[in-house]
Structure formats: C-alpha cells, structure tokens
C-alpha cells in the first residue's frame, strides 16, 4: 500500500530513488513520482504509466536530494494530480506519504488553502506548512493533530525529514549519504546497517548525520541493525515474477526444511507450558494457510481455529493464557493482522509470528517468530510463500506433538521428490472460455479450493467461488448448468467416495468437471497428482492450480504481477 523512499547523497539521489521505487513497486503501481531539490526550488516529476516511464522522464535530471513514491490509491482516483509527491500550496514543501489520514476532512476545513488533489496526503503537507519552526518541528507538531497512519518523507529547501506511525519506515547510511525506505529490501547504494523507526519517531537526515526525535521533539538514540540478506532470489528467472516464484517452490521448501533441521528455531521458542488451543489469525492467502494449520494441529490432538484478522480484531473471541496465538503473514506488515497482534499483546497473551520477512513489524510485536525461508516474494499473488507457510505449520504441529523426529525422513523425502507441475496446456485450451468456475473439495481439499479460487479471481478477474463439496446441494447447486466449470480437488482418502458422489450430482446437471487428484479418475477428466505424504498433499495440489490461474490470466492478456486494484502489502485497514 504505497512505497516511499528518500535520498540525500553526494551522488545523484534521483537515480537512487528510481532504483528504490522499482523495488517498492510491488506495494502499489497506480502511479509514481519523484520530487527533488535543485537550483533553490522543488521540481516534481510524475508518471501514470510505471517506474520505467518515470526513469525515462528523470534520466537527464540530477540532484543530491530526492523523495519518491509508488501509489496504491486510497483517497482520490488514479490521476496525475492525485499522484505523489504532493506540494504545499506555496510549493515550498514536498511530501510522500504511505498511510491514511483519517481526520483529513476536518483538517482540510480548517486549513483555508487551495487544494490540487483529492488526497488526504495533500492535507498533511499543507498542515505541516502552517506549523511554525524548523522542518522537523513543523512535522512533529503536525503529526500531533493527525489521526491515522503515516510513513512520510518531507523536503523543504535542502532539508529532509522522515517520520512514521503504524506504516513501516527504515533509515540508513548508504555509501554516499543517507536513505529512508518503506522496505529494507529497497535500500540501494551499499547499505550495511539500518535503523528501524518506531511509531511516532522522526528523523532529520543529512548526508553524514542522522538525528532521531520522539513525538515530544526530544532527541533520542537508536541502535543500528545489521541488514539481513533477504534480497536474494533463487535464480529462476521467468517472464513474470509469479511464474518464477511458483517454480521456486521446490528450492524454498528444501531451504526451509534445512534451516529448521540445522538450527534451534523450534527449541528456542518461548511457548506456554500447557498449550490447550492454537488460534491462527491472518488475511487472504495467509488465512488459507492458517486454516490448513488448524487442521494440522487438530490432527495432533490440539484444538485449533483460524480467524480472518479483520473480523477477529472487532470480534468477541474469548481469550485464554493457555492459547497460543499464531499470526501468519508473508510480509509481516498487514495492518489488520498487526492490529490483532498488538491487541493480544496488550492483554499479555502468548504470541507467535509466522512470517517471511526478517525484521518485519509483526516479528517485533510477537514474542516468538517462526520464519519461512521463501525468499523475497514480489508477485502480488502469493504462491511460494503460501506453500512454505503450510509446510512450516505442519512441521510445527509435529514438533508440538513431539512427533517431528519420527517424521524427519518423510519430510526430507517430500522435499526431494516434490515436483512443480504446470497446468496441462491442452486441457487449458478446452476450458479457458468458462466465465463461471467453482472449486470444490472436502476437508483440507476444501481449503485448497478456497486458495485456488482466490488465485484465479485475483489475477484473471473471473468470477469464481470455492465451496465445500458437501454444501453444494444446500443451495449453490442451483447455479450449476452447462456454463459451469467445476474443479474438484481430491487428495483426502477418507472422503474420496463422498466427493465423487457430489461430482456425479454436478455432472447430472450438465456442469463440466475437472478432477485434480492422485486417485483414480472415476471417469472424470483428470489433472494427475503424484501421491506423496497425505498431510502435505495440499502443497502438491495447489501448484497446478496456481498455474491454472496464471495461464488463464495470460490467455486473457493480463499481467499477473500487477493485478488491478490490488497491492502486495496491505498496510491500511
């Protein structure tokens, strides 16, 4: 949800900012822009196309001070006027902002100046201008009047100030000066150490000096963190991030298992003595792996539930000190998931973060961290990270039930034998015209159906639902006719016959059925899966379905890496 960056350097800061924006593009790609300070004034360049277009527009411009933004629209449509950076009405201050100013309407009414855009961010830059004192003083006093979330970089003359509340922001020295970005993987210019800004902390950035301030304007000291190696990819380069990342699944599962078996990650966890229940809280795809995790824990005899974070945070769940709360998130910066973790932290519950991003906000909120080692995931559609989440949750369920040792060989065999399987292209040619697609399954296969349906909707914009096969006849069967494609997942032996009966009911009503299964086809067109460890079949079955979504998207001529209306990190509520 928007990425920001700022550079004050001896070399060309504009070029560095463009490089950072290229990395931050996954956070939103509705528009992008840069403001720089040159010849005593601020110059602003924006693009509604993409970062490459911005790169071309800024190629011949150089400055030692630049701030940049890549936008996921919240307030105001996708227009150049609404694109960041925003300028104060005197054009003397420029600001980039990630977050939401909730009270912007009230602030706007009191500001009495002309606005160019419909954004809440333009209100903030004008609010800053109206405050008195140095730039850092103005930013801090404006922040006191603001309700909502922000990570901001602000320039006035030669000065650069940054600050944050809720939205992430990191600062560092680079080879030729200083940098601030929304994501540590977006630091360019040889950064070795970095500083994490906490909520309501601010910094004045100068080429060779960073000064930190708290919300009262007092100087504070902060310790630097070593920059972890998280920017590595796994050397599979396909034409889209999504395709590369699905194909990386085998490598990252192996990598994840190796890290868990060769380290003390599990034994170092500080868990409650008696875990009576495990509740998992997450959003989107991570919620689906949370659902899968709940099944694994129940299989090991531990009561477990999965919750959607945006519901849990306003719900009436009864909390318990004997419950372990697991927050699943690829990015570790999803606003609703973090809000739930903070809520439970206040109530002194036992928290564990399952994340793919070292140093992320969620890891800092929770007492314990289970990392996935999926490497950076750029595509908005989560694929390899989902498989790693499911894998780690299974591993953790075995660990809690003291069954890990007995299953190590099977886990190693799984990661060795596992193969990434594309969706059959000949079959795709026969079915890609369908506009109504249902995914069905039972038990864990139903969770796979939910995830497959989300993937398809997300990147191909086809209206699709997932339904537990046994529920069809309680209503949804009414929708089934010759125009319906039903993709049925069947890897659960104990409900196999039941599922087949449901499929016959669909066939009798004219629906076309494709079976994704490691069992016999029963006369249905089948995508054959290899038979592997039954509990890990959800990882085997989701791969051709991730490919199904990808290939449908490609056939329809869309870009899977940039689905409309979405962004990779959802840092607003």
Q: In the set 98, 570, 571, 572, which binds ligand M6R (CB under 6 A)?
A: 570
Q: In the set 98, 167, 285, 491, which binds ligand M6R (CB under 6 A)?
A: 285
Q: In the set 330, 359, 363, 372, which binds ligand M6R (CB under 6 A)?
A: 330
273 is known as an active-site residue: no
Q: Are 459 and 565 in contact (CB under 8 A)?
A: no
Residue 449-488 contact track with ligand M6R, rule CB under 6 A, x = bound = -----x---x------------------------------
Question: Which ranges constitute the DSSP H helices of 220-267?
Answer: 241-247, 249-261
Under the binding rule (CB under 6 A), the answer on residue 284 touching ligand M6R is yes
CB of 498 to ligand M6R, least distance (A): 29
State which residue, 161 or 344, has the beta carbon closest to ligand M6R.
344
Under the binding rule (CB under 6 A), the answer on residue 337 touching ligand M6R is yes
DSSP annotation string for 76-102: S-S-TTTSSPEE-TTS-EEEEEES-BT
Phi–psi pair at 108, nearest 5 degrees: -60, -45
State which residue, 362 or 515, has the beta carbon closest to ligand M6R.
362
* Residue 291 CB neighbour total at 10 angstroms: 25
How far, CA to CA in Å, does 522 sit from each of 413, 501, 541? 29, 10, 18
457 is known as an active-site residue: no
Q: In the set 31, 126, 255, 334, which binds ligand M6R (CB under 6 A)?
A: 334
Under the binding rule (CB under 6 A), the answer on residue 246 touching ligand M6R is no
Q: Are 191 and 227 in contact (CB under 8 A)?
A: yes
State which residue, 212 or 378, has the beta carbon closest to ligand M6R.
378
Q: Are 498 and 445 in contact (CB under 8 A)?
A: no
How far, CA to CA in Å, does 511 sit from each of 450, 507, 517? 19, 5, 18
Phi–psi pair at 318, nearest 5 degrees: -85, 120
Residues that bind ligand M6R (rule: CB under 6 A) add up to a total of 15
Which residues in the 374-393 window bind ligand M6R by CB under 6 A? 380-382
* Nearest-angstrom CA–CA distance, 53 and 245: 25
Q: Are 497 and 517 in contact (CB under 8 A)?
A: no
β-strand partners of 34: 45, 68
Which segment (135-143, 189-197, 299-307, 324-332) binds ligand M6R by CB under 6 A? Answer: 324-332
Using the structure block, give the residue that is written with the tokens 């000190």. 321
State which residue, 47 or 334, has the beta carbon closest to ligand M6R.
334
Instruction: Determine the angle formed by the axes of helices 249-261 and 384-400, rounding to 10 degrees.
Output: 30
Q: Is 309 exposed, middle or buried (0-12, 13-18, 19+ CB in 10 A)?
A: buried
CB of 342 to ligand M6R, least distance (A): 15
CB of 566 to ligand M6R, least distance (A): 6
How far, CA to CA in Å, does 455 sit from each of 19, 279, 347, 439, 465? 29, 24, 35, 11, 11
Which residues in the 41-70 window bind ligand M6R by CB under 6 A? none
State which residue, 101 or 283, has the beta carbon closest to ligand M6R.
283
* Residue 298 CB neighbour total at 10 angstroms: 14
* Nearest-angstrom CA–CA distance, 531 and 513: 21
Q: Given the residues 15, 164, 455, 568, select the one marked as catalytic.
A: 568
Which residues in the 3-42 window bind ligand M6R by CB under 6 A? none
DSSP annotation string for 367-433: SEEEE-------SSS--HHHHHHHHHHHHHHHHHTT-HHHHHHHHHHHHHH----PPPHHHHHHHTT
Under the binding rule (CB under 6 A), the answer on residue 329 touching ligand M6R is yes
Question: H or E stretch including 362?
Answer: helix 361-365
Under the binding rule (CB under 6 A), the answer on residue 363 touching ligand M6R is no
Tokens matching residue 69 = 């933004």
* Nearest-angstrom CA–CA distance, 421 and 544: 6
State which residue, 55 or 384, has the beta carbon closest to ligand M6R.
384
State which residue, 172 or 381, has the beta carbon closest to ligand M6R.
381
Under the binding rule (CB under 6 A), the answer on residue 167 touching ligand M6R is no
Under the binding rule (CB under 6 A), the answer on residue 129 touching ligand M6R is no
Residue 410-449 contact track with ligand M6R, rule CB under 6 A, x = bound = ----------------------------------------
Under the binding rule (CB under 6 A), the answer on residue 323 touching ligand M6R is no
CB of 121 to ligand M6R, least distance (A): 22
Q: Is 435 exposed, middle or buried (0-12, 13-18, 19+ CB in 10 A)?
A: exposed
How far, CA to CA in Å, does 266 sit from each of 17, 270, 337, 371? 39, 9, 23, 10
CB of 287 to ligand M6R, least distance (A): 7
State which residue, 320 or 368, has the beta carbon closest to ligand M6R.
368
Which segment (95-103, 185-193, 284-292, 496-504) binds ligand M6R by CB under 6 A? Answer: 284-292
Minimal CB distance residue for ligand M6R = 284
Under the binding rule (CB under 6 A), the answer on residue 310 touching ligand M6R is no
Q: In the set 178, 186, 280, 283, which binds ligand M6R (CB under 6 A)?
A: 283
Which segment (282-290, 366-374, 425-433, 501-509) binds ligand M6R by CB under 6 A? Answer: 282-290
* Nearest-angstrom CA–CA distance, 66 and 46: 13
Which segment (25-33, 58-66, 121-129, 330-338) binds ligand M6R by CB under 6 A? Answer: 330-338
DSSP state of 287: H
Q: In the set 331, 359, 448, 484, which binds ligand M6R (CB under 6 A)?
A: 331
- Provide the annotated active-site residues: 2, 568
Sites of contact with ligand M6R (CB under 6 A): 283-286, 329-331, 334, 337, 380-382, 454, 458, 570
């Amino acid at each position: 949800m928007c990425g920001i960056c700022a550079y004050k350097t001896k070399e060309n800061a504009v070029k560095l900012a463009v490089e950072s924006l290229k990395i931050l593009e996954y956070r939103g790609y509705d528009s992008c822009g840069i403001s720089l300070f040159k010849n005593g004034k601020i110059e602003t360049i924006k693009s509604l196309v993409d970062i490459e277009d911005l790169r071309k527009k800024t190629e011949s411009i150089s400055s030692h001070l630049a701030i940049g933004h890549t936008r996921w629209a919240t307030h105001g449509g996708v227009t150049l006027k609404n694109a960041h950076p925003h300028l104060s009405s005197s054009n003397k201050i420029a600001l980039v902002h990630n977050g939401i100013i909730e009270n912007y309407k009230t602030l706007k009414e009191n500001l009495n100046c002309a606005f160019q855009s419909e954004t809440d961010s333009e209100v903030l830059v004008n609010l800053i201008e109206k405050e008195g004192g140095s730039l850092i003083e103005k930013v801090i006093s404006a922040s006191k009047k603001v309700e909502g979330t922000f990570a901001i970089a602000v320039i006035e003359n030669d000065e650069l100030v940054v600050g944050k509340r809720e939205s992430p922001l990191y600062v560092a020295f680079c080879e030729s000066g200083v940098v601030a970005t929304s994501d540590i993987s977006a630091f360019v210019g040889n950064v070795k150490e970095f500083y994490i800004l906490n909520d309501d902390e601010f910094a004045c950035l100068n080429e060779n000096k960073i000064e930190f301030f708290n919300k009262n304007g007092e100087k504070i000291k902060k310790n630097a963190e070593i920059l972890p190696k998280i920017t590595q990819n796994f050397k599979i380069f396909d034409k889209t991030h999504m395709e590369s990342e699905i194909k990386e699944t085998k490598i990252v599962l192996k990598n994840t298992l190796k890290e868990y078996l060769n380290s003390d990650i599990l034994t170092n966890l500080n868990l409650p003595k008696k875990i009576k229940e495990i509740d998992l809280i997450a959003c989107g795809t991570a919620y689906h792996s949370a659902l899968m995790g709940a099944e694994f824990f129940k299989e090991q005899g531990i009561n477990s539930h999965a919750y959607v974070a945006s519901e849990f945070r306003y719900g009436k769940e009864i909390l318990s000190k004997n419950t372990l709360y697991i927050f699943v998130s690829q990015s570790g910066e999803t606003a609703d998931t973090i809000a739930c973790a903070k809520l439970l932290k206040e109530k002194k519950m036992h928290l564990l973060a399952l994340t793919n991003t070292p140093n992320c906000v969620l890891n800092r909120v929770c007492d314990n961290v289970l990392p996935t080692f999926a490497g950076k995931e750029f595509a908005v559609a989560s694929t390899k990270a989902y498989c790693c989440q499911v894998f780690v949750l299974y591993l953790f369920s075995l660990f809690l039930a003291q069954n890990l040792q007995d299953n190590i060989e099977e886990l190693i065999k799984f990661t060795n034998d596992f193969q990434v399987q594309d969706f059959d292209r000949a079959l795709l040619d026969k079915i890609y015209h369908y506009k109504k697609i249902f995914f069905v399954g039972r038990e864990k296969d139903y969770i796979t159906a939910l995830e497959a349906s989300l993937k398809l909707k997300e990147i191909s914009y086809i209206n699709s639902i997932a339904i537990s096969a046994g529920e069809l006849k309680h209503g949804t069967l009414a929708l089934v006719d010759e125009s319906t494609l039903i993709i049925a997942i069947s890897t659960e032996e104990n409900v196999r016959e039941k599922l087949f009966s449901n499929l016959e009911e669909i066939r009798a009503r004219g629906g076309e059925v494709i079976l994704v299964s490691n069992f016999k086809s029963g006369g249905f067109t089948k995508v054959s899966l290899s038979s592997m460890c039954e509990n890990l079949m959800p990882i085997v079955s989701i791969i051709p379905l991730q490919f199904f979504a990808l290939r449908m998207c490609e056939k329809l001529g869309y870009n899977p890496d940039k689905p409309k209306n979405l962004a990779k990190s959802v840092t607003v509520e």
